[in-house]
Amino acid sequence: MINNCYSGFYKSISPDKRLDKRMEKIAADLLISGTSTVNRAVDDHASKIAFYRTLKNKRFTHDDILSASYRRCAENIDVDHVLCIQDTSEFTYARTATKIGKSDPDIGPTRLNMVPGLFCHPTLVCDTSGQIIYGLSSASLFNRTWGQKDKNERNYSKLPIEQKESFRWIENAQNTRALIAKEISLTIIADRESDIFEEFVRVPDENTFLLVRSSHNRKLEGSANSLNTELEQQPLAGTSKVTLVANPKRQKRTADIEIRYCPVVIKAPTKYKGTVKSAKVHVIEAKEVTENLPKDQDPILWRLITTHPIESLEKALQCIEWYKQRWLIEELFRVLKTKGFQLESSQLGNGAAIKKLIAFTLEAALQVMRLKLALDKKQETPAKMLFSKQQLLFLTFLLKKVEGNTAKQMNPYPINTTAWAAWIIARLGKWTGYKSHGPPGYITMKNGYNTFLSQYEIFELLNL
C-alpha cells in the first residue's frame, strides 16, 4: 500500500509507470521504517529484492529522483520572498570500503583519511521566518576520484570556476533561480565556503540576492582598507540581542551584539580571469560583546556580505535573522545521519545506488523535520501541506488515544494545523506531552511518525 503523501510524487520520473510506483513504495518504506538500511526498511524478501533492484536500475538516476522533490518545492511556495540555504555534508562508508572498491566511479576519497564516500550539497527553501520548509530546490551529489593529483599539481587556482568543486555554490543557486517563478524574490544564504568572487558576479539579479558569511579579507576598490578593516572603522550602528541555537561548538544562548555596516566594492582576486573585476555589495558586522559571555564559549563574529541594500539598522538586523536560519540545513543533515535515518550505516556496495538512496531519504528526512519544527514553533499553518484528507481524519481518531485526562495532556493547538498534527505524532513517539519535560527530539518525532504511518496503512486496508 502506498502512503498517500507520495501518491503521484514520482510521476513521469522514469520511462515506466510501474517504476514510478516502485519509487513511491520505496519512499513510503523509508518513512514508515525511519531507517535507510534496506534490510530494516522492509520486512519480506520480495520487497527487499524489489528495493535493491530499483536502486540499481540504470533507467533513471539520482538526479531524476531529486527532480520530483524540486517540482514539489516549487508547487509549495505561496509567498513572494523565500530563503534558499546551501551547505555541504560528507557521507563516509568505511565499513563497506572493501565491498565498494576503488573502481566504482560514484564513490571516492573523502576528507577523513581517504575513507570512501561522497558529498551532498542541497539547497533548502523556507519562508523568511524559517518556520515553513517548502522543500529542496537543487542538490548536488558528487564524489572525488581516487588517485587524483593534488591542487598544486593540477594548478587548481588557475582552473576555470566550472572545473572546481566550489562551482556547486554557483550552480545550485542558478538552478534554484531557474526553478522558482521569476516574480518570487530569493535570498541565497551560505556559510564561509561560499565566499567566491564569481558568485557575486554571476548569481545576483533584480530578484535574486546573496547573503554569505565572509571568509576572505578582500581588497576594496576606492579604499586603502581591506574589507575587515573597513568594517571595523564604521561607526556603531546599534546593538541588539540575538538568540543563538545550540550546535556542537556552542551552547544555546542570547548574545549581545554590536552592529556595523557599510557599502563596499570588492575587487576580483589577482588570478581571476573574468572580464568583470569588481562587485558592489553591502557588508555587515555582528560582533558579540564579551562582558556577559559564558565561560568556555567563543564570542560570535559574523561578517556578512550581501547584495541586499543595507541602509538602516533594521535592514542589517533583518539580514542577521535571515542568516541565522542556516541552522535548518544543519538540522537536515542531522536527521539524515546521526539523529534519524543513519544514512552512513547503509550496507550498499554500489555508489550509484547509494546516491539514489540519499535522494529518496532527503525527502523523507524533510517530512520528519517539518513536523518537529511545527511543534517547536507552534505553527498554525494548515496541515494539508503534509497530510492528505484521509490522514487528517485518521489523526482525529488517534487524538482520542493519545490525549490524557488532564488539561496539561490535551492537544493545545487548533485542529488541522501542522502543530496539532505534530503534537499527536510526538505522543505516538512516547513523548509525555508535558511542557516541563521539554519538546520532543528528532528520534522521538521520527519514531512517532513511523508509528503513525504504519497504523495508517492498516486503516487504509480496512477501508478499501
For residue range 171-211, list pLDDT tens digits in order.
999 999 999 999 999 999 999 999 999 999 999 999 999 99
Mean pLDDT of the chain: 90
For residue range 406-450, list pLDDT tens digits in order.
888 899 999 998 899 999 999 999 998 887 788 888 888 888 988
Q: Are 276 and 221 in contact (CB under 8 A)?
A: no
- Name the least confident of 34-43, 225-234, 312-321, 348-357: 34-43
* Helix H or strand E segment including 125: strand 116-126
Whole-number pLDDT of residue 177: 98
Strand partners for 364: none
Domain boundaries, the chain: 62-345, 378-462
For residue range 167-176, list pLDDT tens digits in order.
999 999 999 9
pTM of the model: 0.91
Length of the chain as a residue count: 464
Cell numbers for 171, please give them. 550552480
Distances in Å between the Cα of 329 and the Cα atoms of 89, 189, 210, 236, 432 are: 10, 11, 17, 31, 28
- Name the least confident of 74-83, 150-159, 208-217, 428-437: 150-159
| CATH class of the domain at 378-462 | mainly alpha
**Helices vs. strands in the chain: H and E counts, helices first:** 15, 11
The percent of residues above 70 in pLDDT, for the chain, comes to: 98
**Mean pLDDT confidence for 43-71:** 93
Whole-number pLDDT of residue 273: 83
Whole-number pLDDT of residue 464: 60
Whole-number pLDDT of residue 4: 52
CA dihedral 106, 24, 47, 345 (to 10 degrees): 40
Please determine, for residue 3, whether its predicted confidence score (pLDDT) is greater than 50.
no
Whole-number pLDDT of residue 5: 66
**Angle at which helices 442-462 and 17-33 cross, to 10°:** 130
Distances in Å between the Cα of 463 and the Cα atoms of 2, 453, 454, 457 are: 14, 15, 15, 10
Q: Hey, is 120 helix, strand or coil?
A: strand
Strand partners for 254: 243
User: What is 62-345's CATH topology?
Assistant: Transposase Inhibitor Protein From Tn5; Chain A, domain 1 (3.90.350)
Rank 2-11, 145-154, 305-314 by mean pLDDT and report only the highest: 305-314
For residue range 333-374, list pLDDT tens digits in order.
999 997 789 999 888 989 999 999 999 999 999 988 888 888
The percent of residues above 90 in pLDDT, for the chain, comes to: 59
For residue range 219-265, list pLDDT tens digits in order.
999 999 999 999 999 999 999 998 888 777 788 888 999 999 999 99
